[in-house]
Amino acid sequence: MEKSKEKSKLIFSGVQPTGNLHLGNYLGAIKNWVKLQTNAHCIFCIVDLHAITTSGNRSEILQNTREVAAAYIASGIDPSKNTIFVQSNVTGHSELSWILGCHTPIGWLNRMTQFKDKAGKNKEKAPLGLYSYPVLMAADILLYKSTHVPVGEDQKQHLELSRDIAQAFNRCYNNDFFPVPEPVIIGNATRVMSLKDGLKKMSKSDPSDYSRINLTDSSESIKKKIQKAKTDSEPFPSDVEKLENRPEITNLINIYSALTENLLEDIISEYANKDFRVFKQNLADIVDQQISKISIEMKKLLADKTYLDLILKDGYQKAKEISEKNINDLKNIIGLFRA
Ligand code: AMP
Ligand code: TRP
C-alpha cells in the first residue's frame, strides 16, 4: 500500500531544456527525485525561461523541452502522481520574479558565482536575464510555497539566495507567507565531474562528448566513454584516505557508489589490489545497465509526442491552479489594486 504523502511537504525542482542531459543531472538531481516522490507532493518543472538566458540553447528548445520531460518519466517519475510541466506555460513565474526582484538587493546578485562563470570576461555584454536568473529560480520555488528543493551541489548558492529572498519578503510585509525552502543535496554524486578532467564539473556545454555520459547514449558509447575516462598512473586506492588529490578516480568511485548505493569503503575494499581495468569494466556495465534503460525508454516516449504533450498539459493545469491562488494572495498582501 502506498504511504500517504506528507501534506506539509512540497518538493520543487527543475532542469533546463538545454540539450545533452547527462549522468550528473541524473545522479545529482533526477535519481533523488524518484525516491522523494513517494512521500511528498512533488512539482518537477522544465525551466525553459532559464534556458533562454544563454544564446546557444534557443534554437532547439522545443525538442529539448520534450527530451527533459521524457527523461523525467523514463527515470521513474510518475506523471499521474506528480506535477510535470513547462515553466513558460505558467505566467506566475515571470510575475513573481518581478515582485521578488523588487525585494532583492543587487549586492546579493553580485555574489553569484554562476553568473560570473557564465558571463565570463565581458560582463557588460551579458544579458540582464542571466544576471537575474537566480531571482527567477527563487520565484519558481516560492510560487508553489515549496519547502524542499532537491538539486546538485552547484545550485547551493542559488538556493541560499532563494531563502534570503523569502525571508526578505516575509519581513517586508510582516508575514510568513513563504516557507523558507530547504536545499536537499544528497547522495555520493552531488557533483559529478567531467570524465576528461576531474577538476571540471560534468556539463552539458563541454565541447567534448567524451567528458560526459549522455542519457541518450547507446550501450556501446557508454562503455567506450568509461574505458577512455581519464585516470592517473597510480594503482587502485587501498583506502578512502588515499583518494585525496586523485580527483578522477574519486569521481569514478563516487559514480559507482551512487549507482549501486554501495559505500565507498566497500567499493574500495572490493577493488583494492585489482587491475584498474576490472573496476572500469564493472563500472561501465553498471552505468550501461542503468542508463541504457532510461535511454531506451526516452526514445519510446519521444516517439509519442501526443502522450508527452498531454502530460505537460495536465501538469500545466495543476501548476496553474496553485500559481493563480498564490499570486492572488500575494497581490493582496502587497496591497495592489484588483480590477
Ligand atoms: P541544469 O542542467 O543546469 O539545469 O541542472 C539540472 C540539475 O542537475 C540541477 O539540480 C543541477 O544541480 C544538477 N547537475 C547539473 N550538473 C551536475 C553535475 N555535474 N553533478 C551533479 N549534479 C548536477
Ligand atoms: N538553476 C537550476 C540549474 O541550473 C535549474 C532551476 C531553475 C531550478 N529553477 C529551479 C532548480 C528551481 C531547482 C528549483 O540547475
The list of the chain residues with pLDDT below 50 reads 1-3
Cα distances (Å, whole numbers) of residue 1 to 38, 42, 267: 11, 19, 34
- DSSP output for 198-246: TTSB--TT-S-GGGS-BTT--HHHHHHHHHH----SSPPPSSGGGGTT-
Beta carbon of 204 within 6 Å of any ligand 1 atom: yes
66 Cβ contact list (under 8 Å, min separation 6): 302, 305, 308, 309
d(CA 137, ligand 2 centre) in Å:
6
Q: Are residues 123 and 264 in the same domain?
A: no
151 plus 245 within the same structural domain: no
Q: Are residues 101 and 229 in the same domain?
A: no
Per-residue pLDDT of 247-264, as tens digits, reads: 999 999 999 999 999 999
Domain identity same for 47 and 163: yes
Asked if the structure places residue 23 within a domain, the reply is: yes
**Number of alpha carbons in the 13 Å side-chain half-sphere of residue 75:** 27
Decide: 188 and 50 in contact? Cβ < 8 Å. no
pLDDT of res. 33: 97
> Which residues are 183's β-sheet partners?
149
Can you tell me which atom of ligand 2 is nearest the CA of 134?
1
Instruction: State the Rg of the chain over Cα.
Output: 21
Q: Give the residue numbers spanning the domain of 227.
A: 209-300
Is the domain of 142 the same as that of 238? Answer: no
Q: What is the number of structural domains in the chain?
A: 2
Q: Determine, yes or no, domain membership for 339.
A: no
SS3 41: strand
On whether both 40 and 185 belong to a single domain, the answer is yes
Which domain CATH number covers 151?
3.40.50.620
Residue tagged 506539509 (cell numbers): 8
Q: What is the DSSP string of 252-294?
A: HHHHHHHHH---HHHHHHHHTTS-HHHHHHHHHHHHHHHHHHH
Cβ–ligand 1 contact at 30 (below 6 Å) = no
* Ligand 2 lined by 148 (C-beta under 6 Å): no
Sheet holding 6-15, edge to edge: 83-86, 40-46, 6-15, 148-150, 182-184
Distance 152 CA to ligand 2 centre (A): 10
Q: Look at residue 317 and tell me if it is in a domain.
A: yes
Q: How far apart are CA 193 and CA 202, in angstroms?
A: 5
The closest ligand to the CA of 21 turns out to be 1
On whether both 289 and 310 belong to a single domain, the answer is no
In the reported structure, the alpha carbon of residue 173 is separated from the centroid of ligand 1 by a whole-number distance in angstroms of 34
Separation CA 230–CA 234 (nearest Å): 12
On whether both 50 and 75 belong to a single domain, the answer is yes
Global pTM reads 0.96
* CATH assignment at residue 231: 1.10.240.10
Residue 80's SS3 state is coil
Are residue 94 and residue 32 in the same domain, yes or no? yes
Residue 202 in any domain: the answer is no
Q: Which three cell numbers stand for residue 337?
A: 489594486
**Rounded to the nearest 5°, which phi and psi values hold at 22?**
-135, 180
Same domain, 145 and 75: yes
Ligand at shortest distance from the CA of 25: 1
Render the burial of 20-42: b for 16+ CB within 10 Å, e for the rest.
bbbbbbbbbbbbbbeebbeebbb
Q: Do 43 and 167 lie in a common domain?
A: yes
Atom of ligand 2 nearest to the CA of 158: 1
Mean pLDDT in the chain? 95
Judge whether 197 lies within some domain.
no
pLDDT digits (tens, 9 = 90+) for 85-132: 999 999 999 999 999 999 999 999 999 999 999 999 989 999 999 999
In the chain, which ranges are E strands? 6-15, 40-46, 83-86, 148-150, 182-184
Q: What is the pLDDT of residue 1?
A: 37
Q: Which are the catalytic amino acids? A: 118, 201, 204
| Residue 335, Cβ density class (10 Å: 0-12 exposed, 13-18 middle, ≥19 buried) | exposed
Q: CA dihedral in degrees (137, 143, 145, 149; nearest 10)?
A: -30
267 and 316 belong to one structural domain: no
